[in-house]
Amino acid sequence: MRLMQGLMFDPLLDQLHFGLKQRGGVTLPLPEAFASKKTLRADGLIQSWLWKVPGFRRWRVTRLDLGQSLQVLNSVAYPDYTNDQPLMGVDLLWFGSRSKLVAVMDFQPLLQEKEYFDRHFNGLIELHSRYPDLNGDEIMRSFDPHIYFSPWLLFCRGGLELAEGTLPIAFNEFINCYWKLSEDVVKVPSRIPMIEVKQLQKNYDTYSSERDPAHGLFTSYFGKDWSNRYLREFLFPGSSI
């Protein structure tokens, strides 16, 4: 049982990494303390990868294994500044001892405007309509659903059935839908000037670093110094430029 739950999101992680490699992605070296870090107590582990892939200035991936307590797969894709498409954000959490899933997947919009949604969200709108189990009718406690989240985010709290049944299928489609958008978007010129895209991506990092519900958890498992550095330098480097 311990082993099975330990591997909850690993097939999805493999799939994500496979897709990145397929599209010419390479991993960049990370400081050792970020690449892999054990918890202060017990045998937990956090691992991180930083990808450089054509079309994106940064694509980060984190796997957190705290055994029965918590399993996490977290990833954010930051497109090149010449491309105003949404960021890709994924946060999947499995609390094994309580059999509780929290899954969030979204194309995180730079702007909350109809014209922007019309250009970038047709794929996600269609996908969202086919996954009522993940339809996003959930209350957000730390974030504001109108800032850097779209009206079509996939968001659910659920149990094992959802985690092992619907989620892997939806995740696969979600990632493919984002790759499709990324391919299509380069065929038409970006409407938001590069300098504004840069500022909006930076604001995303600042906003997210201030709200991230993981901060307390990181501090208790990895200590205050490591956690502050990890947030500032790896998760949200734009927050401190």
Which residues contact ligand BLA by CB under 6 A?
62, 64, 72, 74, 76, 89-91, 93, 102, 104-106, 140-143, 212-214, 217, 235
User: Least distance in Å: CB of 222 to ligand BLA?
Assistant: 11
Beta-carbon-side half-sphere exposure of residue 27 (alpha carbons within 13 Å): 14
Residue 155 CB-density burial (10 A; 0-12 exposed, 13-18 middle, 19+ buried) = buried
User: Least distance in Å: CB of 94 to ligand BLA?
Assistant: 11
Which 3 state secondary structure label does DSSP give 153? coil
**Longest alpha-carbon distance in the chain:** 51
Whether residue 3 contacts residue 163, with contact meaning beta carbons closer than 8 Å, is answered with no
Whether residue 110 contacts residue 201, with contact meaning beta carbons closer than 8 Å, is answered with yes
Which CB atom, from 176 or from 186, has the smaller least distance to ligand BLA? Answer: 176
User: Least distance in Å: CB of 169 to ligand BLA?
Assistant: 18
Which CB atom, from 186 or from 206, has the smaller least distance to ligand BLA? Answer: 206
Which CB atom, from 193 or from 216, has the smaller least distance to ligand BLA? Answer: 216
Which CB atom, from 74 or from 201, has the smaller least distance to ligand BLA? Answer: 74
Burial per residue of 172-211, b for 16 or more beta-carbon CB atoms within 10 angstroms, e otherwise: ebbbebbbebbeebeeeebebeeeebbebbbebbebbbee
User: Least distance in Å: CB of 174 to ligand BLA?
Assistant: 10
Q: Which residues pair with 91 in a beta bridge?
A: 74, 104
Cα–Cα dist 25/97, whole Å: 35
Whether residue 66 contacts residue 73, with contact meaning beta carbons closer than 8 Å, is answered with no
Which CB atom, from 75 or from 83, has the smaller least distance to ligand BLA? Answer: 75
Whether residue 48 contacts residue 33, with contact meaning beta carbons closer than 8 Å, is answered with no
Which CB atom, from 84 or from 91, has the smaller least distance to ligand BLA? Answer: 91
User: Least distance in Å: CB of 122 to ligand BLA?
Assistant: 19
